[in-house]
Amino acid sequence: MAQNRKHLANAPDASDDPPFDLPEAVREPELGPSLSSRALQGAAAPPYLSALNPEQRQAVEALDGPVLVLAGAGTGKTRVLTTRIAHILASRKAYPSQLLAVTFTNKAAREMKERVGDLVGGIVEGMPWLGTFHSIGVKILRRHAELVGLKSGFTILDTDDQIRLMKQVIEAAGLDKDRWPARQLAGLIDGWKNRGLTPDKVPAGEAFGFASGKGAQLYAAYQRRLKELNACDFGDLLLENLRLFLEHPDVLADYQRRFRYMLVDEYQDTNIAQYLWLKLLAQSSPNLCCVGDDDQSIYGWRGAEVDNILRFEKDFPGARVIRLERNYRSTGHILAAASGLIAENKGRLGKTLFTDGHMGTKITVIAVWDDEEEARAIGDDIERMQKDGQRLNEIAILVRASFQMRAFEDRFITMGLPYRVIGGPRFYERQEIKDAIAYLEITANPANDLKFERIINVPKRGLGDTSVKRLHELARAREMPLYQAAQMIVETEELPGKARHSLAGLVANFERWRGQVGHMRHTELAELILDESGYTAMWQADKSPQAQSRLENLKELVRFMHEFDSLEGFLEHVSLVMDADQAGDGERVSLMTLHAAKGLEFEVVFLPGWEEGLFPHQRSLDESGQAGLEEERRLAYVGLTRAKRIAKVSFAQNRRNRGLYQSALPSRFVDELPEAHVEVLEAKLPFGGAYQNFAGPFGRSRFDDVAPFEATYETPGWQRAQERTKTRARDEWSPAKARKARRPTTIEGELVAASSGAPAFRPGERVSHQKFGAGTVADVDGNKLTIDFDTAGRKRVVDSFVARG
DNA sequence: GTTCGCTCACTTTTT
DNA sequence: GTGAGCGAAC
pLDDT at A544: 67
The CA distances from residue A477 to A480, A482, A492, in Å, are 8, 11, 16
CA A461 to C1' B1 (Å) is: 10
In strand C, the nucleotides that come within 7 Å of a protein beta carbon are 1-2, 6-7
SS3 content of chain A, % helix, strand, coil (to 5): 50, 15, 35
CA-based nearest residue to A613, from A647, A643, A658, A648:
A658
Q: Which nucleotide lies nearest residue A467, CA to C1'?
A: B1
Tell me the C-alpha distance between A91 and A97, whole Å. Answer: 15
Q: Which nucleotide lies nearest residue A424, CA to C1'?
A: B13
pLDDT at A553: 82
In strand B, the nucleotides that come within 7 Å of a protein beta carbon are 1-3, 9-15
CA A363 to C1' C4 (Å) is: 40
What protein residues sit with their CB closer than 7 Å to strand C?
A 178, 656, 658-659
CA A771 to C1' B5 (Å) is: 35
CA A748 to C1' B8 (Å) is: 41
Q: What distance lies between CA A721 and its chain's CA centroid? A: 34
Torsion of CA A428, A431, A434, A440, to 10 degrees: -130
Query: DSSP letters of A532-567?
Result: HTTHHHHHHH--STTHHHHHHHHHHHHHHHTTSSSH
pLDDT averaged per 10 residues in sequence order, chain A, 805 residues: 34 36 36 55 69 91 93 93 92 89 92 86 74 94 93 86 85 77 85 91 78 82 91 92 95 93 95 95 88 94 91 91 94 95 90 90 94 93 95 95 89 88 77 88 88 85 82 85 89 83 90 92 92 87 73 85 86 71 73 93 96 92 90 96 96 85 92 95 54 36 32 38 34 31 24 34 72 70 64 59 63
| Closest residue (Cα, C1') to C5 | A178
Check: CB of residue A244 under 8 Å from CB of residue A251.
yes
Nearest-5° Cα angle at A28, A44 to A134: 90
Q: Which nucleotide lies nearest residue A659, CA to C1'?
A: C1
CA A425 to C1' C3 (Å) is: 14
Q: Which nucleotide lies nearest residue A178, CA to C1'?
A: C6
Provide the annotated active-site residues of A: 77-78, 265-266, 296, 642
Tell me the C-alpha distance between A740 and A752, whole Å. Answer: 19
pLDDT at A671: 95
Q: What is the DSSP letter of A653?
A: E
Check: CB of residue A1 under 8 Å from CB of residue A40.
no
Q: What distance lies between CA A634 and its chain's CA centroid? A: 17
pLDDT at A72: 93
Query: DSSP letters of A52-103?
Result: S-HHHHHHHH--SS-EEEEE-TTS-HHHHHHHHHHHHHHTTSS-GGGEEEEE
CA A751 to C1' C2 (Å) is: 31
Check: CB of residue A472 under 8 Å from CB of residue A225.
no
Count CB atoms within 10 A of the CB of residue A786: 15
Q: Which nucleotide lies nearest residue A431, CA to C1'?
A: C4
| Closest residue (Cα, C1') to C6 | A178
